[in-house]
Structures are given as C-alpha cells and as structure tokens.
Amino acid sequence: MSKIIITAPGTPLRRSIDHILGSLCPQPAGKRIWVKPNMLGPFEPAQGVTTSPEVLEAVVDALLNRRASVVVGDNPGVPGNQEGIAAITGILNASKGCWRNIGADASKIRLAGRWSDVTINISSIWLQADMIINLPCLKTHALTLMTGAIKNMFGGVPGRTKSYLHTLAPSAKSFAELLVEIYSIRPPEITIMDALNVMEGNGPSGGRLRPLGVIIGGDNSVSVDAVGSMIMGCRPEKIPLLREAYRRELGEIDPGKLDVEGEIPLLPRFKMPSTTMASIASRFNPLAAIYAVVPQIIKDKCIRCGLCARTCRSRAIIEKEALYFIDYNRCISCYCCAEVCPRQAIRLPSARDDLFQRIFHLFAKRFRDES
C-alpha cells in the first residue's frame, strides 16, 4: 500500500521535510540522489511557477546532512541558458553547490507501446542515479488539467525534444498517455510535493496562487498526484494523467486505498483552467476540433521577447514588424507558448468564449483543405 504523508499547515518546513525523509528515505548515506525540482522557465520564486527554493534547500540540506551525494537539475521548458534560469528561479542558490546542467549529458532511449518507433534523449542522470526524489509543485495545467508529480518527470527530457513530443501527441488525451509513458521510463522512489501555494486557473504559469501551507510526501508519484487532485476538488479518475497511470498499474489513485498520514485539505471553489472543456472534448473526436482552444497574444502585455515563437515546434507563431501573431492553421493547441510566456501575455479563452470564432476557423480550414 502506498504511503502518503500530508503535513499540517503551519508546520515548520524543515520539520516537515525531516519527517518525510526520515519515514520514506531512512538510509540515503552514500547514495547518488537526483533531486528533480520543477524549473519550468525564467520565473521568479514569488510567481509560484517553479518549486519553492525554501523546499528545495530544506531537502538538499537534509540529504547532505545524511551524507548523500546530491545532484539537483531539471530541463526547463524553454530553450536557453539553464544556469541563468536556475538563478532566476532561486534553484541555483538553494541547491547548495549541487546544481548541474543535466541537459548537457543525455542518453538515448526508445519509448514503448504506441510510440515504440520513437527514440528520444533523456538526461543520463535519470538512469544513473541510485535514487530519484521528485520535487513538483501543485498547479493546474491548461492541457493536462493538473501538473504535479507525474508531469514533473517530463523535465527529464532535455530542450526542444519536449515540444517535438507535443507534436507527436497533440490532443490532451494522447499527451497524457505520452507523459505517463515517459514517467514509466523510471518512476521516482520518493515524491515531495510543494503545496505551500497551489496554482488555480490557467496554470502552469498563468494562474493565481492559493495559499495552503502543506507538503505532501509519498513513495508513489501517482498516489501523490491523486491526493493533489483531491485538494483541487477534482476526483482523481477525472484527470486523464491519473486515469492512464492507474490503467497501467503505476499507482493507486483511490485515496481510500492509500496509507495516509494527515488530513487531505480542500481548497474551496478551486478554479480549473478555462481550457477544461477542450481537454474533456479531446476524448471524443467530433467534438475535439470544435472545442479546441487557440491561444491569443495580448499585444499590450507582450514584451516581444520571442520565447513563445522559439518554443512553438509547429512554427505557428510568426514575427511580423516586431509583433508576434499566431497562425491558427498551424496551431495544435498544445499551450506551450502560454506556459513559457514570462508576462502572461498569451490568453487561453474558454471553449465557450470563442465558440463562433473557432467554428469559423474550422470551416475556413476545411474549405482551404478541399480547394
């Protein structure tokens, strides 16, 4: 039975981390441990997009005190200088000299199942570490509805391979299956989820933070995510990632079948992403195209950094006279652009908001394809 530890709000952070590590990782001495935070992009710690430096620092200190050999690293979702992003997020300082550019040393691996003809690079530390400690933060996600422990392991894939994988699995349903496939390469031994603040709305970078003050530890990432979804007010089986992970017997998602220490807190009136309808509709082919959400660039907020265009593997973001535009015919609604935008300048309308516009584009596209 998977073990879950939920610390009470207000518990001093270092005491929470010591308790979780003492229960789940009693003998780390001499082990090479990969600590995997969420380092999505160049976001300041106060934005709550990446793992809190305080949580990371407490984990690193506790492991070093127990004489473990620690490597901290992640591959951000945006191309560019990893060390610079680690500095901005506070992850570099919090790593206490253990931070490494894990994107610089990659190994090839062949995926399985329906992607058995796909070979990708993953950071070698994923295969080489004696133990992995997964350090996600709990947030909504415009495409997968939630991002936590399972999705955090996608960061083991370096650089632009991530956006390439989006093109292989463009729908929310297929992307969830692909994420679980990647997670299954080697699931982490321990998960320590940062739920000090939980992001609602259009996560993983454009939502609003809800204070919670909780850390969730567990020996199975799938079960930790199941608890995370309950906190968001969502039944675990409603989250495509969790449904798929459960189907593949990678972890229990029924909280009644977990060994839970502590109370599962609930965030009342929690807001899921505006794209939730599109995500649900992606399971049903005829509806998927109608409900697909196409992002919109808010010109007044855009600082013309070009990060979205460099991230979009479908080449759907075009620069014209120093302004950026989205080509609706190329967009596959992966929302990677919104995810990396440092100014929340990419709006994801709800499926209802722009229904007329979407139907218009759908018919226009069909007409163009046929003519």
Chain residues binding ligand SF4 by CB under 6 A are 295, 297, 302-308, 312, 314, 316-317, 324, 326, 331-337, 341, 343, 345-346
Residue type, position 107, single letter: S
CB of 157 to ligand SF4, least distance (A): 16
Q: CB-wise, 5 or 334, nearer to ligand SF4?
A: 334
The CA distance from 125 to 251, in Å, is: 23
Measured CA to CA, the distance from residue 208 to residue 243 in angstroms comes to 26
CA 45/CA 366 separation, integer angstroms? 44
Closer residue to ligand SF4 in complex, CB, 211/306: 306
CB of 167 to ligand SF4, least distance (A): 8
Question: Which of 36/166 has CB closer to ligand SF4?
Answer: 166
CB of 130 to ligand SF4, least distance (A): 36
- Show Cβ contacts of residue 164 under 8 Å, excluding neighbours closer than 6 positions: 313
Minimum gap (Å) between residue 170 Cβ and ligand SF4: 8
Residue 336 tokens read as: 């990677």
Query: What's the N-to-C CA distance of the chain in angstroms?
Result: 59
Q: What residues contact residue 278 under an 8 Å CB cut-off, 6+ apart?
A: 172, 288, 291, 292, 293, 333, 351
For ligand SF4, give the closer residue by CB, 7 or 163.
163
Pick the closer one to ligand SF4 by CB: 302 or 355. 302
Residue 267 or 332 with smaller CB distance to ligand SF4: 332
Looking at residue 71, its amino acid is V
Least separation in angstroms between residue 97's CB and ligand SF4 is 32
